[in-house]
């Protein structure tokens, strides 16, 4: 039996050959998703191959940056503090708006 034929309006069976025709434009086929997954798999495979070559050559694996982690922690703390300030500001604005609306009634 031959492989399924990709058509534009399937899925159906071609009566002349009895082969299944896959649906190209429907919920079963997402080319963008497939290509993204393929790219991720290729990237991971390349990374694994480089790591194995490095280990086989007796070289040390690259260490993480000593600056990157502390910088990320500082930025995360700053981000959390900024969120707290913005929430408090939103509460103040909401209270002021509520008072203004109450005084106009």
Ranges of each domain in the chain: 1-62, 64-105
Report whether 9 contacts 22 (CB < 8 A): no
Write out pLDDT tens, residues 49-67: 988 888 888 877 666 678 8
Phi, psi values for residue 9, rounded to 5°: -135, 25
Give me the pLDDT at residue 68, please: 85
Phi, psi values for residue 67, rounded to 5°: -95, -35
Average pLDDT over residues 94-103: 87
Examine the pLDDT at 29 and tell me if it is beyond 70: no
User: What is this structure's pTM?
Assistant: 0.35
> What is the distance, to the nearest Å, from the Cα of residue 91 to the centroid of all Cα atoms in its chain?
33
């Amino acid at each position: 039996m031959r492989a399924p034929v990709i058509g534009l309006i399937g899925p159906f069976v071609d009566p002349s050959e009895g082969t299944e025709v896959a649906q190209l434009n429907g919920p079963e086929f997402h080319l963008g998703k497939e290509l993204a997954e393929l790219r991720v798999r290729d990237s991971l495979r390349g990374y694994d191959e480089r790591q194995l070559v490095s280990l086989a050559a007796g070289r040390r694996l690259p260490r993480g940056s000593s600056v990157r982690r502390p910088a990320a922690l500082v930025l995360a703390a700053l981000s959390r503090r900024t969120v707290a300030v913005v929430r408090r500001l939103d509460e103040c604005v909401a209270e002021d708006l509520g008072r203004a609306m109450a005084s106009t009634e």
